[in-house]
Chain A
Amino acid sequence: MPETVISAQNLDLTFETNDGPVHALKDITLDIAEGEFVSLIGPSGCGKTTLLRVIADLETPTGGTVSVNGMTPDEARLARAYGYVFQQSALLPWRTIEENVALPLEVMGLDKATRNQRIVSNLELVNLTGFEKKFPWQLSGGMQQRASIARALAVEPAMLLMDEPFGALDEIVRDHLNEQLLKLWAKTKKTVVFVTHSIPEAVFLSTKIVVMSPRPGRIHEIIDCNLGTDRALDIRETPEFLRIAHQVREGLKAGHSYDE
């Protein structure tokens, strides 16, 4: 039985805004085991990003507890237990691709030889060898996002937190990156928490799909989904895939009351 690495108990988070309180997360309880690929799916505004940010200690919950790798989120962040991939690549424009990958390594105070070795191996992992000296704005959106994944991996974290990393990319690039991400996951055995609002993406990638519903953001249903380790894109035509996709769609429909 693999160990639980992320555990949320009765999480609550209310934002105090000028228009009054926004109840972003309500009573979230979720366990994620080591090596799992968990997708958070739901309509926009249902708190997916907020939940991920709470795990990453970028947001403080107003109620409940979270533990990450057996630590508080704060301790886990300072121990660099996770790598965070944002919706946009957030590469610094004045740094080349290799310098961007080096950024967290410089913050960690690693020596130059170690930095160089990690730059080389992680850029290779995301197929960006040969682009080390380019500036981010000289690359396509898909390449930029791959560079930001390499940057997150260079920290050698136990887990990856990804917030709609491919949301801004077109369908073809996204398919391609999904395949690459799956290979990467199989190779590195990292725990991944992945936010998306695409059903095929979630079913294709995940071992577990967390269906969320809005106002207030809560977990509607957790669907197990394991299509075997050696998946290719054409698995999306199989009955098993379609059955799970259907189940997710039904879950989203039920969770989302169309009452407005």
Chain B
Amino acid sequence: MSVFRPNWQALMSLLATLYSLTAVPFTDSMGSGTPLIVVAILLAGALASMLRLSFALEAAVLTLASFGAAAVLIGGLADAFGTASRGYFAALGAAWLLGWRLVTVLSGDGSRGSDGGGGTAIIVPALFGLWVVILWECIVRGAGVPFVLLPPPSAIGLKITNSTSILAADFKQTVLKAVLFGYVVGSLTGFLVAILADRFRFFANGLLPIGNMVSALPMIGIAPVMVIWFGFDWQSKAAVVIVMTFFPMLVNTLAGLAASSDMERDLMRTYGATHWQVLLKLRLQAAMPFIFNALKINSTLALIGAIVAEFFGTPIVGMGFRISTEVGRMNLDMVWAEIAMAAIVGSLFYGALALLERSVTFWHPSYRR
């Protein structure tokens, strides 16, 4: 067994690092000494990762090398907007390749059984997200992308920390009022109507075609109508969210209630179970995967619905309001701050539902252990 273990990410990284030396200095503010430090870090990382190291050591070396190089590269952009050379981007690519190698190692390439499992499920996406931000920052500032086109993450981050009170007010108005109320009411009524429609079949037969029609309606069309009906404040946004979330829940719950097998229903019949006993003990349980599916779909729909609905008249607060007015003033960092908040809120909402789903439908073949 050789001590040498080449891998393509490290090899490519090595080549990119060497190439970066052809275009020194990297930026106007970096001088010619700093690139050498970056190159040294990258070479050390790439070479070390090709040795047969232990899992922990290799992960540590790759983390230090990739993020160390990235940190120096970001630092080199101070007062050097739009001046990055070919060498700068080659070095950036080399650092990113080491980051990729790190993800490969962590995902259990060749080291299955070691640690792995629970931790990597969070670490790998986090690393991925971190690299998106790093590349975004370096490319936008290094290549000098105009601010209105795409502000760098650092500017967005700064805007977020400087406007927490505005963001908090918008969060309260849009998420805590419109989204939450609309989501709960829309999903709950969808669920209850499904239970009724299942009991009284004619109800379902009349309702489903209407449901399909309503879900085909463009939200852009109903939002202004809701504003006229329910006023400018959050109630009209909640109404849009209710309309959007009601039918996914109705349709999914109805499908879920049909998911138990004939044999299971016959079994309940041999026990002389009543309709509600069968519903409670068998059919609703079997419907849970479908119901959670609707809850997850609705979490996304609710956020989109509330934000877009605010484009059509609103008091002077709310995420959608902020986005539409700040775009007009070319304050793109504020727009992106709102987008970032929406993304984080949406992911947390979805993630919490996914966790809950796992604990409720642990028995489903896709989760069993």
Contact = CB atoms under 8 A, between A and B. Distances in A.
Interface of A: 56-58, 77-80, 82-84, 86, 88, 90, 92-94, 103-104, 106-108, 135, 137, 155
B266 A58 contact: yes
Nearest to A56: B270
Interface of B: 261, 263-264, 266-273, 277, 281-282, 285, 361-365, 368
Contacts, number: 50
A80 B272 CA distance: 7
> Taking chain A's interface residues, is the majority helix, strand, or loop, or is none over half, making it mixed?
loop
Contacts of A108: 271
B269 A58 contact: yes
A155 B266 contact: no
A107 B263 contact: no
B271 A155 contact: yes
Contacts of A82: 270
B363 A77 contact: no
B34 to A, nearest CB: 59
Contact of B281 (A88, A107, A155): A107
Contact of B264 (A80, A83, A92): A92
Contact of A77 (B270, B364, B368): B270
Contacts of B266: 58, 84, 86
A90 B264 contact: yes
Nearest to A82: B270
Contacts of A88: 263
Contact of A93 (B263, B267, B270, B363): B363
B363 A107 contact: no
B161 to A, nearest CB: 46
Contacts of B277: 107
A89 to B, nearest CB: 10
A93 B285 CA distance: 10
Contacts of A86: 263, 266-267
A85 to B, nearest CB: 10
B285 A77 contact: no
Q: Which has the most chain A C-beta neighbours within 10 Å: B261, B282, B285, B363?
A: B363
Contact of A107 (B271, B365, B368): B271
B25 to A, nearest CB: 63
Q: Which has the most chain B C-beta neighbours within 10 Å: A88, A104, A108?
A: A104
Contact of B271 (A94, A104, A135): A104
A233 to B, nearest CB: 30
A155 to B, nearest CB: 7
Contacts of B282: 92
30 contacts: A58-B269, A58-B270, A77-B269, A77-B270, A77-B272, A79-B272, A80-B271, A84-B267, A84-B270, A86-B266, A86-B267, A88-B263, A90-B263, A90-B264, A92-B282, A93-B363, A93-B364, A94-B285, A94-B362, A103-B281, A104-B271, A106-B281, A107-B268, A107-B271, A107-B272, A107-B273, A107-B277, A107-B281, A137-B363, A155-B271
Contact of A135 (B261, B263, B363): B363
